[in-house]
Amino acid sequence: MTTKAYPDPKPFREKARLVILDLDCFLYPYNKTYRNAVLRAWREIEKEYGLPVFRRKIAQKLIEEAKEETNKNPDDALCRYISKLAGNLESKGLPGASVIGMLEVYYRSRKAARSGEEEEDIRPDQALDPPYKDMIAMAFNLRLLQNRKSGKKARLTRDELQEKIVEGDKGITRLWHRHMGTGFIRPDAGLVSKIQRLTDAGVGVAVLTHSFKQGEGEAMEKLEKLGLREVIPGHNIFGLEEISPYKKGTNPEVFEKVLAAINNMRDPADPIKPIETIMAEDTIGNLQGAKKAGMQTVWVPRRDKGIPNHPPRKLQKKLASVDHIYATPHQFLDALHAAIRASGEAPVKAVPTGRE
């Protein structure tokens, strides 16, 4: 298999003192093994909780009823959340009406991508991965609403469903990662050596993820499987526990919060500046917030994503926040190390404060 090459005319800043890396589908491959784990997780959750895979008419009727109830009674948390989630999914070009509907769009987009075609109802910037956690959340919520209307008792108690769904996506995140596990991740000695090489040169390395830091199937377990636990210090790993209530995306707050936390562990007289920080991601939308925070940005597209010769306007806007594009994290880490060597000046190593 040939590795894609992307034009990368911009040089790195000579004093790149910190690299923040994404975790999921970035530090480990987005491949068939991963996708098989996704399908297994979906089946296990469906089996464990009786996950409803609604037909469109049934689901759409429930969503419309939820929207009507939200207008009448804004304090109805369940209906309010269903309405919001449906709007979010529809804004991404995915029908919020049913899990089956979303899967149909997903499989059509995969087929179109493989054949090099583009269907009229599939947006050119639409992700080829379905939003599994949102789909699960929608299915759970619609089941809860259906049970509430019919008087049936749910497999999960109302409190358990409230914890998993209505109060945010954290419960769904934990549920999803627990069923995904980490069995699809393999040690990556090459990745470990390249990151160690950067730290030896005095460049700090951190991880910023929408996984939780601790827990079954979460960030620390994934990094352990990759062999990176001994290379990246624990206080430089930021999961949902650390960055809440923010998320990566178009806003700069989460990136500012992470950099402030890292600088808090350093000599106050020698803070790392945003422009001395590189954020590396496989999700291009997340780089918009990093760019607004003043950071350099690196995009590593997933294996089945490329850049068309004439990108649509929305993608062009996102590309404006991208400084460098590489085919793999390995390629990026090699290029950064080469730039540091070529500069003839490695950054000064941070003096540990002893705080964890």
Structure tokens, 78: 């369940």
From CA 88, how far away is CA 80, in angstroms rounded? 12
- In this structure, are 169 and 192 located in the same domain? no
Amino acid at 221: E
Q: Decide if 234 contacts 241 (C-beta within 8 A).
A: no
Residue 355 lies in a domain: no
pLDDT tens-digit map of 59-91: 888 889 999 999 999 999 889 988 988 888 777
- In this structure, are 200 and 336 located in the same domain? yes
Residue 352 lies in a domain: no
CATH code, domain carrying 221: 3.40.50.1000
- In this structure, are 41 and 123 located in the same domain? yes
The DSSP bridge partners found for residue 277 are 18
Pairwise pLDDT comparison (191 vs 96), residue with the higher score: 191
From CA 45, how far away is CA 85, in angstroms rounded? 19
Q: pLDDT class for 352, splitting at 50, 70, 90?
A: very low
| Dihedral sign computed on CA atoms, order 256, 262, 268, 274 | negative
Residue 83 lies in a domain: yes
pLDDT tens-digit map of 262-320: 999 999 999 999 999 999 999 888 999 999 999 999 999 876 566 666 667 777 788 88
- In this structure, are 110 and 204 located in the same domain? no
| pLDDT of residue 166 exceeding 80 | no
Residue 354 lies in a domain: no
pLDDT tens-digit map of 202-245: 999 999 998 889 988 999 999 999 999 999 999 999 998 888 77
Amino acid at 245: P
| pLDDT of residue 165 exceeding 70 | no
- In this structure, are 56 and 82 located in the same domain? yes
Residue 3 lies in a domain: no
- In this structure, are 70 and 214 located in the same domain? no
pLDDT for residue 354: 43
| pLDDT of residue 49 exceeding 60 | yes
Q: What DSSP designation does 163 have?
A: I
Expressed as residue numbers, the domain containing 229 is 18-28+186-343
Q: pLDDT class for 192, splitting at 50, 70, 90?
A: very high
Residue 217 lies in a domain: yes
- In this structure, are 94 and 51 located in the same domain? yes
Name the burial class of residue 320, with classes exposed (0-12), middle (13-18) and buried (19+) by CB atoms within 10 angstroms of its CB: exposed
Residues in Cβ contact with 294 at an 8 Å cutoff, skipping those fewer than 6 apart: 252, 273, 274, 275
- In this structure, are 74 and 148 located in the same domain? yes
| pLDDT of residue 169 exceeding 60 | no
Q: Decide if 13 contacts 296 (C-beta within 8 A).
A: yes
- In this structure, are 233 and 271 located in the same domain? yes
| pLDDT of residue 126 exceeding 50 | no
- Count structural domains, the chain: 2
| pLDDT of residue 124 exceeding 50 | no
Residue 9 lies in a domain: no
Q: pLDDT class for 356, splitting at 50, 70, 90?
A: very low
From CA 63, how far away is CA 87, in angstroms rounded? 10
Residue 262 φ then ψ, to 5°: -70, -45
Residue 203 lies in a domain: yes
Question: Which of 180, 212, 234 represents a domain boundary (last residue)?
Answer: 180
Question: Which of 180, 195, 222 represents a domain boundary (last residue)?
Answer: 180
Residue 313 φ then ψ, to 5°: -55, -40
Average pLDDT over residues 163-190: 76
Query: Among 1-15, 171-185, 274-288, 306-320, whose mean pLDDT is lowest?
Result: 1-15
Percentage of the chain beyond pLDDT 70 is: 71
Residues in Cβ contact with 275 at an 8 Å cutoff, skipping those fewer than 6 apart: 13, 294, 295, 296
pLDDT for residue 163: 56
Cα–Cα nearest to 228, from 201, 193, 204, 202: 193
Question: Which of 115, 145, 180 represents a domain boundary (last residue)?
Answer: 180
Residues in Cβ contact with 258 at an 8 Å cutoff, skipping those fewer than 6 apart: 20, 206, 208, 238, 242, 243
Q: pLDDT class for 31, splitting at 50, 70, 90?
A: confident
